[in-house]
Amino acid sequence: MDFALTAEQQELRGKARTFAETFVAPGALDRDRAGTFPAEAVQAAAGEGYLGLLVPREYGGRGVGNLAQSLLLEEIARADASVHVTISVHNSLVTAPIVRWGSEELKKKHLPRLATGECVGAYALTEPHSGSDAAALSCTAVRDGNDWVLNGSKMWITTGARAQTLLVFARTDPKTPGSRGISAFVVDGSAAGLEPGKKENKLGIRASETVQLFLEDVRVPGEDLLGEEGLGFSYALGTLHGGRIGIATQALGIAQAALDAVIAHFDGKAVPKGSAFATQDVDFRIAEMATGIEAARLLTWRAAWLRDRGDEHASAASMAKLAASRAANDVCHAAVEVMGPKGWRSEGHVERFFRDVRVTEIYEGTTEIQKLVIARSLKAT
């Protein structure tokens, strides 16, 4: 077992930290308050090649792999979780499945524009009546000559209102229930009949736009079917394993930022008089916070490493997300508690971390879904 990062990985991580401190952290609090999409930060990330992390070089990407992506995007999440999730969804949920299952024609058509940031991607699986039970989706796709015509609606779509490329899942065989008969399509965001609903007013990651999508007779060329007809749900699940590593990474970044804030707040000084905590109490909290983060980080790196190797990693990805999201919520809760008024007032960043981290136990599969994946994997062995 080798726990050492390569020189290249360390360099990527260091450059990402400098980038995040320079282009992402400034304005994060203002964007959060106003719910303003971080367009400048995302375009700056595109300029660094951060929107093509999993895209092979022959299609204009950087092709660094999942572990390097996790190292890099943790630094982005540490600065602003809203910027992180925009970039993470684009990479893990849009470019990755096109790389894995797309035809050569589909790859050449979409990957170069996605890798350079000319297009921002969105992933449209969830529907108003099919959340955790994604196989119950009812959006339909019907053949019309060489095209497909899509009808239905999608819910909780990150960057859905401004994405130029969307991965949409629809039922191509309405007679087949459940997960069978679902296909995946790469849809142009400007297609006629595709309309976003209102932007959701959320507890956290407020600068990341989340919308409902309505599809009314949206026409998709036949060559924009991803992979094989009827295998869309298996593609969705395979994609979500990578997405869960991305959300585990997001949780780690938020947790690390909260721990950094606690350490900076006390800065070696004794706890002020009147505090509910003694100096040793705070030290114990810091030790517990750091240990929880590091344990979750190792699980996340392992899941990313397995994915890079092409090994089975569904359970590992769920373990990473389960551990990281739990640890991060605990860390942010503790940060608010030990920092007192400075922790919970809206003028500080810790209150933002506390709100942002909550969703890491909800999207890309709730905590309960992760437990089901892990348990079923264990029972199958």
Q: What pLDDT, in 10s, does the model give residues 296-326?
A: 999 999 999 999 999 999 999 999 999 999 9
148 in the same domain as 107: no
Min mean pLDDT across 54-68, 253-267, 334-348 is at 334-348
1, pLDDT greater than 90: no
Out of 74, 75, 209, 364, which one is annotated catalytic? Answer: 364
Q: What is the pLDDT of residue 278?
A: 67
218, pLDDT greater than 90: yes
Checking phi first, is residue 178 left (phi over 0); if not, alpha (psi -120 to 50) or beta? left
156 in the same domain as 60: no
Length of the chain (residues): 381
pLDDT band of 270, cuts 50, 70, 90? low
105, pLDDT greater than 70: yes
Average pLDDT, the chain: 95
Does residue 364 have an active-site annotation? yes
Domains held by the chain: number = 3
372 in the same domain as 239: yes
Burial of 265 (0-12, 13-18, 19+ CB in 10 A): middle
Q: What is the pLDDT of residue 277?
A: 63
Single out the residue in 72, 91, 119 at which a domain terminates.
119
295 in the same domain as 246: yes
131, pLDDT greater than 60: yes
276, pLDDT greater than 60: no
274, pLDDT greater than 60: no
The domain that holds 66 is classified in CATH as: 1.10.540.10
237 in the same domain as 376: yes
Single out the residue in 186, 201, 230 at which a domain terminates.
230
247 in the same domain as 331: yes
1 within domain boundaries: no
298 within domain boundaries: yes
239 within domain boundaries: yes
pLDDT band of 347, cuts 50, 70, 90? confident
Q: Which tokens hold the place of 161?
A: 């209102």
The domain that holds 357 is classified in CATH as: 1.20.140.10
| pTM reported for the whole predicted model | 0.96
- pLDDT, average across residues 199-206: 97
- pLDDT, average across residues 169-187: 92
275, pLDDT greater than 80: no
Single out the residue in 181, 208, 230 at which a domain terminates.
230
Q: What HEC string does 323-344 produce?
A: HHHHHHHHHHHHHHHHHCHHHH
239 in the same domain as 225: no
Question: Percentage of the chain surpassing pLDDT 70?
Answer: 97
301 in the same domain as 207: no
pLDDT band of 268, cuts 50, 70, 90? low
- What pLDDT digit, counting tens, does each position of 356-371 carry? 999 999 999 999 999 9
pLDDT band of 272, cuts 50, 70, 90? low
CA contacts within 13 A on the Cβ side of 259: 24
CA distances 243 to 5, 92, 314, Å, are 22, 5, 11
260 in the same domain as 245: yes
Q: What is the pLDDT of residue 150?
A: 98
- pLDDT, average across residues 80-102: 98
Question: Percentage of the chain surpassing pLDDT 90?
Answer: 87
Where would I find the beta strands (DSSP E) of the chain? 121-124, 140-144, 147-158, 165-171, 182-188, 194-199, 210-221, 225-226
259 in the same domain as 374: yes
256, pLDDT greater than 60: yes
84 within domain boundaries: yes
375 in the same domain as 249: yes
Round to whole Å and give the CA distance between 89 and 240.
10
2 within domain boundaries: no
220 in the same domain as 176: yes
185 within domain boundaries: yes
The domain that holds 182 is classified in CATH as: 2.40.110.10
254 within domain boundaries: yes
269, pLDDT greater than 70: no
Round to whole Å and give the CA distance between 345 and 229.
52
Q: What is the pLDDT of residue 377?
A: 96
The residue segments making up the domain with residue 184 are: 122-230
